A = this chain, B = another copy of it.
């Protein structure tokens, strides 16, 4: 049992000054403070908030909450402890910034969640995003795919996640995942190993190492890529926060690839969000004997996910229509494959070792003698067969006739 629910979010206990340069921005300051405050007061994806604040500017929501307006009591309990200025400073001290809609770095892709909200009880666009790392979030997400899957994955899943991730990184695709054990970690590591960009969306504060044993990995991601969260610094993950976080992973990338997932899996939740957001949904197949691939197969069978067997499959799916199309794997044609039916039948009837006369070959092939003789000449011209004093035989170099 995971006891993250135990930890009560530490509010504004972080120290350090500075960070003013990060929260500066002219008349954006009040807006930024309001959104930072809201990111602590309103739970991610709170559908009641979506209804109560529908279409209301963030500044107005913030003011109303602070004025203890009637009907908004639901969000009053946390208000007393909220200090957005202190949160921004605390973030800056942890090397993080808080970006909001209108910022150059804001990833417009997540705005789709404002609409998707009608479809689910854990929707809504985030008030802002807390970001740790040097990369430019919007640019990094421009060509990106989410690789998600089971925590308790198999070594097959781990291998495939790392390989696909490295391959995507090689083609300049940013790999997004959730920073968890298993598939997530393998995906992040694969991209890092290939010197590519990777982004972890967390269900806690960007300064919180969850899970603890992934601390080193998360630090590395923040160094080379980005660690992103909609919850302010210090927040702990909860079950609902994981689910709400999934919607950000799905919305912010062009496609979500489920690598291994049991039937009951958060990865399927992310795939559902990707579908609702109009993003590509892919699933990597695996052995039907593996419980860990059952979720992937379910997605393909019942939810029309695209089967992902290679980097090329993923690139094709996340590319604009017509771009990134890959040639499909085709059987390599051998010369014998290109022969017409009579030539092929004649070739089939020519002995491998002991030469046979044309009359015998005609009977074996079930063709008349003139047709057979004509075919034998053609096959000889192609050097597939050889004439000997006692008849015809296959050339030693003739390709093997594998029965199919």
Q: Does A134 contact B (CB under 8 A)?
A: no
A404 closest partner in B (C-beta): B266
- A374 vs chain B, min Cβ distance (A): 12
Q: Does A237 contact B (CB under 8 A)?
A: yes
- A289 contacts B348, C-beta separation under 8 Å: no
- A172 vs chain B, min Cβ distance (A): 22
Chain copies in the assembled complex: 2
Instruction: Tell me which residues across on chain B come within 8 A of A203, comparing CB atoms.
Output: 403
Q: Does A109 contact B (CB under 8 A)?
A: no
- B328 contacts A302, C-beta separation under 8 Å: yes
Interface members, chain A 1-59 (any B CB < 8 Å): 1-6, 8-9, 41-43, 46-48
Instruction: Tell me which residues across on chain B come within 8 A of A8, comparing CB atoms.
Output: 356, 360, 363-364
How far is B332's CA from A308's CA once the two chains are assembled, in angstroms?
27
How far is B239's CA from A350's CA once the two chains are assembled, in angstroms?
12
How far is B330's CA from A238's CA once the two chains are assembled, in angstroms?
24
Interface members, chain A 355-404 (any B CB < 8 Å): 356, 359-360, 362-372, 400-404
- B307 contacts A348, C-beta separation under 8 Å: no
Given A81-B363, A286-B285, A366-B46: A307 touches B313 (CB 8 Å cut-off): no
- CB contact between A307 and one of B41, B48, B297 (< 8 Å): that residue: B297
Query: Which stretch (A72-80, A83-91, A187-195) binds chain B?
Result: A72-80
- A363 contacts B77, C-beta separation under 8 Å: yes
Given A2-B401, A285-B286, A329-B263: A366 touches B78 (CB 8 Å cut-off): yes
Instruction: Tell me which residues across on chain B come within 8 A of A121, comparing CB atoms.
Output: 341
Measured CB to CB, the residues of A under 8 A from B are 1-6, 8-9, 41-43, 46-48, 73-78, 81, 121-122, 156, 159-160, 180, 203, 237-240, 242-243, 263-266, 268-269, 284-289, 293-294, 297-298, 300-302, 306-310, 313, 328-332, 341-342, 344-345, 348-354, 356, 359-360, 362-372, 400-404
Given A41-B366, A264-B331: A5 touches B401 (CB 8 Å cut-off): yes
- CB contact between A301 and one of B1, B265, B284, B307 (< 8 Å): that residue: B307
- A368 contacts B263, C-beta separation under 8 Å: no
- A45 vs chain B, min Cβ distance (A): 9
- B5 contacts A349, C-beta separation under 8 Å: yes
A365 closest partner in B (C-beta): B43
A157 closest partner in B (C-beta): B287
**Residue with the greatest number of chain B CB neighbours at <10 A, chosen from A47, A353, A365, A367:** A367
What are 12 A-B interface contacts by the 8 Å CB criterion?
Answer: A1-B400, A3-B353, A8-B360, A41-B366, A76-B368, A77-B359, A77-B369, A121-B341, A160-B288, A266-B404, A284-B288, A298-B328
